[in-house]
Amino acid sequence: MTEASNSGAASRERVGFVGLGTMGVLMAANLARAGFALTVWNRTSGRADELRDLGALEVASPADLARQCDVVVMCLTDAPQVEAVLFGPDGLVEGLAPGSLVVDCSTISPTRSVEFAARLASRDVSMIDAPVSGGTEGAKLGTLTIMVGGESEDVRRATPVLGAMGKSVTHLGTIGSGQWAKAINQVILAGTYLAVAEGITLGLRAGLDVEKVVEVLNGGAASSWVLANRSGRMIEDTYPLGFKISLHRKDLAIALDLAREVGAVLPVTAMAATLEDGLIAQGYGDDDNSALARQVRRLSGL
């Protein structure tokens, strides 16, 4: 395991960032603040204003971005979007020079990561997968945990860039390894969110001061990031966006597919996926994924 710290000294490589969503725009801002020569692109306009103020250049297409960059970071929704940005009309491959490096911080299937890396390798372009964990808080503060798969030389090259966005950068193995770790991360989170939601609901039904209960539990064996950072939303029954429940459901689909491939049984994950399906059908797909508590509360008459 390697801990990557941001010394504030950017490498000389020109960096591009594609995908300025809830997480991406915060991650790109940290690259700009670290001093990287940054070029950005997003499918929809209006997301790059702060980045331009920080010195970033906004361009009209992924191909335009690639022509100006040595290292390109992607933070996109799913594998079809990654494929379109890489290989579609005006995609990155139209501008990437031989020797360029693509760093994919999207959460997609490891199989697709391997496929995309092979297609890029045929053009003498390298790729690593580097999905992240830590929510919008971690993206804003630059304290994300980044799980990396790829060749060691490519990971070393990307480390200054990743270190500007995250506190912990861990190289886990060959391409796709980071995506496997992210799938496991989402499986564990699904169970933790459900468990915290059940505990909060039990406390509310018992008439306890649940905020005090949470304070006590955070000092003991039940402590977790979810309990510390998302229990308040569950108590208040309001779920402002941190990470969309629809995106978490997409990630659980990846994990469940991988489980079937290797013969693992994930009953808690399957239950969480079913509850999330219900929330999405009710129009709550854009809520934070702590909204799993909404289902547990309603089933308990709250």
Residues labelled as active-site residues: 182
Q: Which residue's entry shows tokens 């045929």?
A: 122
- Report the C-alpha gap between 253 and 246 in whole angstroms: 11
* Strand partners for 132: 146
Q: Smallest Cα–Cα separation from 197: which of 280, 267, 297? A: 297
What is the spatial distance between Cα 230 and Cα 8, in angstroms, rounded to a whole number? 31
